[in-house]
Structure 1
Amino acid sequence: MRVAVISAYYKEPLHVLRKCHESVFAQAGNVTHFMVADGFPVSDIDSWAGVVHIKIPNHADYGDTPRGVGAACAAANGFDAICFLDADNWYEPNHVETMRMIVDETGAQVVTATRKILTVDGRMLGICKESNSVDFNDTNCYFLTRPAFPACAAWLFKDARESISGDRVFWNAVQAGGYMRFHSIEPTVNYVSTLAFHYEMFGEIPPDDSKVIAKLPGHQHFQMFSYAQYKAMGGARGR
């Protein structure tokens, strides 16, 4: 099985990009890392083994267009499965093999993984309670086989104002596709979070500079605020 891992990147430091890529390169089997520069390509990546380096203009849509472009390239080049991995996150060494074994054993068209939530300084908050493939599934936690590739169009063909919550748009597309799904309870994805909601999930008070994504009264679309701004507006928690 040829597996493509799609990582959109923007202005992350080189050591962060390298950690992401090394976690993909360490996966067993035939795995290729599609690293898609969202307007600011890093020349070092051209020499990294196992990488298809795609460079596109910046779209300012939280990586949605780069994910869609990477997925389209992987599909057109005959890959059997597609995963997504944000540039500041990384896989456990057994991630792809775990997903692949579940496909072989269950016939699932979409496998979803469990994630660990970490702070920017590397402290583990805990195992995510939200991304459970029932209420929601995070972008980094998908393993899509070819029958589910049409869901990837959601990254590209949506109202641009929905990009701030593009992960939920994609989750809705996967659900609407009616694909056979299976959820892995093994936490094989490491997710670095700056969201206030994740601190609250584990009983901690969020830092003032953590992020809140919320709809204000009278507004149709989500907006992003710092936790300090959100508190000043009278909010207590948000996603």
Structure 2
Amino acid sequence: MRIAVVTPYSDEPVDWLVRGHASLAGQGHAVTHILVADGRPDPAVAAWADQHIVLRHRHDDGGNAARMAGGLSAASQRFDAVTFLDAADWFLPGHLDGMVTVMAAAGADAATARRVLHRIDGTPVGVCPRIDGLRTVDASGILLRPTAFPAIALWCLVPAPIAGDAAQSVLGYLQGRNRRIAVAGPAATVAKRVRARAFNAGLDAGPWAPWLTDADLPDPAAVARWWRDLDTDERERQFRRIGIH
């Protein structure tokens, strides 16, 4: 299976991108790594990326525009599957093979995986209890077959208040279109580097200070609450805007 892995990046340390790129080796399938620069292309990254796309305008949207651009480019190149890998993350051994295996066994349109949380220095903390791959998903834990490629546009179509956790809307779109989703596991195979300052409390974060953020990990449940709190007319308007209705 030919798999495109799309990584949006902006100002993250190149070492993070290199680690993510290295984690694609030995995943059991032919992998093409598409890195998408959101307004800040790095010549060093362009030198080793399998494909390098530059968005001249910086979007500051958490990588959503870059995910969509890279994902749609991969779809137009007729890859067998498209997945996403955040700039700070990496795949654990066997991740892609596990996703493809469960997807094929279930005849599914997409596969999801759970994540292991790591501090900003890369040290593991534990499996994330917020992501189960069925009701909640991580942006780096979604694999799409061509029948699910229309969901790629959702990265940019989600309403601004919940754009920081657009993966939940991608999942919701697939479920709303009755696409079959297989969950890989039980092992968590996505390594998620957490940049939240509170999560890294107690760590000597001096070298990492420029990349720490005050924002907490997105709470997938907050996305569902946001939709529920909308009045009926506004909910229908948002649904029509993103093509759910």
For the aligned pair, the TM-score class normalised by the smaller chain equals 0.7 to 0.9
Q: Is the 8 A contact 2:103 2:181 kept in 1?
A: no
Letter in 2 for 1:170: V
In structure 1, C-alpha distance between the alignment counterparts of 2:195 and 2:61, rounded to whole Å? 18
Cα offset, 1:161, TM superposition: 4.2
Provide the residue aligned with 2:129 in structure 1: 129
Report whether the alignment pairs 1:211 with 2:215.
yes
Report whether the alignment pairs 1:55 with 2:54.
yes
Letter in 1 for 2:184: S
Letter in 2 for 1:211: A
In structure 1, C-alpha distance between the alignment counterparts of 2:76 and 2:17, rounded to whole Å? 25
Gaps of 5+ in 2: 201-211, 220-225, 228-245
Secondary structure, counterpart of 2:174 in structure 1? helix
Secondary structure, counterpart of 1:156 in structure 2? helix
Provide the residue aligned with 1:229 in structure 2: none
Cα offset, 1:34, TM superposition: 0.8
Report whether the alignment pairs 1:87 with 2:87.
yes
In structure 1, C-alpha distance between the alignment counterparts of 2:31 and 2:139, rounded to whole Å? 18
In structure 2, C-alpha distance between the alignment counterparts of 1:140 and 1:197, rounded to whole Å? 22
Secondary structure, counterpart of 1:60 in structure 2? coil
Provide the residue aligned with 1:41 in structure 2: 41
Q: Is the 8 A contact 1:117 1:198 kept in 2?
A: no
Report whether the alignment pairs 1:183 with 2:183.
yes
Output aligned runs, 1:1-239, within 5 Å.
1-48=1-48, 51-56=50-55, 57-185=57-185, 186-195=187-196, 210-212=214-216
Cα 1:64–1:29 change in 2 (3 A) is: same
Structure 1, residues 50-80: CA drift from partner, whole Å, max 9, x if none? x110000211111000000001000000001
Q: Matched residue pairs, number?
A: 209
Secondary structure, counterpart of 2:62 in structure 1? coil
TM-score scaled by structure 2? 0.77
Q: Which piece of structure 1 moves more, 155-164 or 183-192? A: 155-164
Q: Is the 8 A contact 2:112 2:134 kept in 1?
A: no
RMSD, aligned α-carbons: 2.6
Q: Is the 8 A contact 2:134 2:183 kept in 1?
A: no
Cα offset, 1:157, TM superposition: 2.4
User: Counting strand residues as a fraction of each chain, which structure ranks higher?
Assistant: 1
- Seq. identity, %: 30
In structure 2, C-alpha distance between the alignment counterparts of 1:198 and 1:180, rounded to whole Å? 34
